């Protein structure tokens, strides 16, 4: 049994009791921590999960929280093994406890969109899962972590946050896990859903949603985590002007489960990439073509027979989808259909 600690402040509870005579029922949120800038301080070790949450006592105005540390690492060190563990734990928490209103996951922003999209595909519950991080560490002036964490918890408590897939909350903005890209190296408004737009806002007076995610997710997803022990190897190869295609061929010789090639706008590619992709498809390796351009999608049908188009998914998210999808099928038509729906 995992060790879960209740972080209810006795002082606040007593205060509430003495004012109302009775403790009001607050929503129940589980916070799973993984590290990242939100937990980091420039001259000290990263904050342990409970300390991170205790630093924002305002959370207790909105929810009763349990905190569990999954890992404590910068998100550049997050691995598919951690995705699996995190996804299984979220499904376990939801299936064991119907009283939990939502789950918040604290995470570094560098690979947050990959973890978020992965969870969006494999979480089997319509209750909110909210990813949160920060761009500024805990000890600098105008650190954004405390406010982001508070807003994430508020989003997770809401009934109307249900069935919107996994969300990313930073800078008071709610983005869909599928659509959000980290777009700025430093600014707090880094997550943008380029063509799709935000899902909504965490405003001071309310949590407001403007739209629903446009693609299948969570409860409507076909992907089953229970049977997956490890995710398959899927590298990303980047095309560029003058590319000779050799890295695609080197990868193909290793026979990975699939390869994602990040090409130019519209899925156009160098002659080296074309040659490498043709060789890899002859080997029967599923190849997904993604565009390096954030706006729009790759239209039409693949220019190289036997490949799959990532449409508007960037290469790093196409890789996540391919890794998860390959556990279900390696059939090209099925993979194409999956890439059109998720
Ligand atoms: N280095 C950090 C990370 O873990 C950056 C951040 O969290 O914003 O991704």
Domain that residue 279 falls in: 236-341
Measured by CA distance, the residue closest to atom 7 of ligand 1 is 108
Q: Give the pLDDT band of residue 154 (cuts 50, 70, 90).
A: very high
- Known catalytic residue: 37? yes
Q: Give the pLDDT band of residue 236 (cuts 50, 70, 90).
A: very high
Residue 25 counted as domain residue:
yes
Residue 287 counted as domain residue:
yes
Q: Give the pLDDT band of residue 23 (cuts 50, 70, 90).
A: low
Residue 225 counted as domain residue:
no
Measured by CA distance, the residue closest to atom 3 of ligand 1 is 108
Q: List pLDDT tens digits, range 82-92.
A: 999 999 999 99
Per-residue 3-state assignment (H helix, E strand, C coil) for 166-231: CEEEECCEEEECCCCEECCCCCCCCEECCCCCCCEEECCCCEEECCCCCCCCHHHCCCCCCCCCCC
Residue 228 counted as domain residue:
no
Residue 229 counted as domain residue:
no
Residue 30 counted as domain residue:
yes
Query: Which element (helix H / strand E) includes 291?
Result: strand 287-291
Residue 112 counted as domain residue:
yes
204 with 98, same domain? yes
32 with 155, same domain? yes
Contact 174, 209 (CB under 8 A): yes
246 with 336, same domain? yes
Q: List pLDDT tens digits, range 115-133.
A: 999 999 999 999 999 999 9
18 with 116, same domain? yes
* Residue, of 12 and 179, whose pLDDT is higher: 179
95 with 210, same domain? yes
Q: Which of 46, 75, 181 to mutate to test the pocket of ligand 1 (most atoms within 8 A of CB)?
A: 75
126 with 255, same domain? no
- Give the integer Cα–Cα distance in Å for 183 and 172: 16
333 with 190, same domain? no
- Give the integer Cα–Cα distance in Å for 215 and 48: 35
**Residue with structure tokens 């038509």?**
333
284 with 336, same domain? yes
Least confident window among 8-12, 97-101, 108-112, 230-234: 8-12
Residue 227 confidence (pLDDT): 84
Domain CATH code at residue 159: 3.40.50.1170
Residue 12 confidence (pLDDT): 41
Domain CATH code at residue 336: 3.40.50.40
Which residue, 324, 329, 333, 288, is CA-closest to 121?
324
- Give the integer Cα–Cα distance in Å for 164 and 89: 20
Q: Quick one: DSSP state of residue 24?
A: P
* pLDDT, mean of residues 146-172: 98
Percent of the chain predicted with pLDDT > 90: 90
Contacts of 69 (CB under 8 A, 6+ apart): 32, 33, 34, 48, 49, 50
Q: Give distance in angstroms: CA of 107 to centre of ligand 1.
A: 7
* pLDDT, mean of residues 92-115: 98
Q: Which of 38, 52, 76 to mutate to test the pocket of ligand 1 (most atoms within 8 A of CB)?
A: 76
Which of 161, 185, 220 lies at the terminal end of a domain, its last residue? 220
Cα 284 off chain centre by: 30
Give me the sheet containing 167-170, strands edge to edge.
Answer: 5-6, 64-69, 28-33, 102-106, 129-132, 167-170, 173-176, 200-202, 207-209
How deeply is 124 buried, as exposed, middle or buried, from its count of CB atoms within 10 A (0-12, 13-18, 19+)?
A: middle
Which of 220, 254, 287 lies at the terminal end of a domain, its last residue? 220
- Give the integer Cα–Cα distance in Å for 206 and 208: 6
3-state secondary structure of 275: helix
3-state secondary structure of 85: helix
250 with 165, same domain? no
Q: How many domains does the chain have?
A: 2
Give the pocket of ligand 1 (CB within 6 Å). Answer: 36-37, 74-76, 108-110, 133, 135
Q: Give distance in angstroms: CA of 38 to centre of ligand 1.
A: 8
202 with 280, same domain? no
**Residue with structure tokens 């129940």?**
28
Q: Quick one: DSSP state of residue 64?
A: E
205 with 248, same domain? no
* pLDDT(27) > 80: yes
98 with 18, same domain? yes
Residue 231 counted as domain residue:
no
Ligand 1 atom showing the smallest separation from residue 38 Cα:
7
Cα 317 off chain centre by: 9
Among residues 8, 16, 33, 37, which one is catalytic? Answer: 37
- Give the integer Cα–Cα distance in Å for 98 and 106: 22
- Give the integer Cα–Cα distance in Å for 207 and 199: 11
* pLDDT(10) > 70: no
* pLDDT(21) > 80: no
Contact 101, 63 (CB under 8 A): yes
Q: Give distance in angstroms: CA of 39 to centre of ligand 1.
A: 9
Which of 163, 196, 220 lies at the terminal end of a domain, its last residue? 220
Q: Give distance in angstroms: CA of 221 to centre of ligand 1.
A: 29
Write b or e for each residue in 291-324: b if 16 or more Cβ atoms lie within 10 A of its Cβ, otherwise e: bebeeeebeeebbbeebbbbbbbbbbbbbbbbbb
Q: Give the pLDDT band of residue 43 (cuts 50, 70, 90).
A: confident
């Amino acid at each position: 049994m995992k060790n879960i600690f209740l972080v209810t402040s006795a002082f606040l509870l007593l205060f509430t009791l003495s004012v109302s005579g009775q403790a009001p029922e607050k929503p129940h949120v589980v916070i799973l921590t993984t590290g990242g800038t939100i937990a980091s301080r420039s001259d000290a070790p990263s904050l342990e999960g409970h300390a991170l949450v205790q630093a924002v006592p305002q959370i207790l105005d909105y929810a009763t929280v349990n905190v569990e540390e999954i890992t404590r690492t910068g998100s550049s060190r997050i691995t598919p093994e951690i995705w699996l563990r995190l996804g299984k734990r979220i499904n376990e928490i939801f299936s064991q406890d119907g009283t939990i209103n939502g789950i918040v996951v604290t995470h570094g922003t560098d690979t947050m969109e990959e973890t978020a999209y992965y969870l969006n595909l494999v979480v089997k519950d319509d209750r909110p899962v909210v990813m949160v991080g920060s761009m500024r560490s805990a000890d600098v002036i105008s650190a954004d972590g405390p406010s982001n964490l508070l807003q994430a918890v508020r989003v997770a408590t809401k009934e109307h946050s249900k069935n919107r897939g996994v969300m990313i909350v930073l800078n008071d903005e709610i983005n869909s896990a599928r659509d959000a890209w980290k777009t700025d190296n430093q600014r707090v408004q880094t997550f943008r859903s380029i063509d799709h737009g935000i899902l909504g806002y965490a405003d001071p007076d309310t949590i407001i949603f403007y739209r629903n995610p446009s693609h299948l997710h969570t409860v409507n997803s076909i992907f089953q985590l229970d049977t997956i022990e490890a995710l398959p190897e899927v590298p990303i190869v980047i095309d560029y002007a003058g590319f000779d295609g050799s890295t695609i061929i080197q990868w193909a010789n290793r026979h990975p489960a699939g390869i994602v090639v990040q090409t130019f706008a519209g899925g156009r590619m160098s002659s080296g990439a074309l040659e490498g992709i043709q060789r890899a498809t002859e080997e029967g390796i599923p190849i997904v073509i993604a565009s390096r351009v954030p706006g729009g999608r790759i239209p039409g049908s693949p220019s190289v027979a036997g490949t799959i188009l990532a449409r508007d998914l960037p290469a790093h998210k196409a890789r996540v989808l391919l890794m998860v999808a390959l556990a279900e099928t390696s059939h090209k038509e099925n993979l194409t259909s999956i890439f059109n729906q998720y």
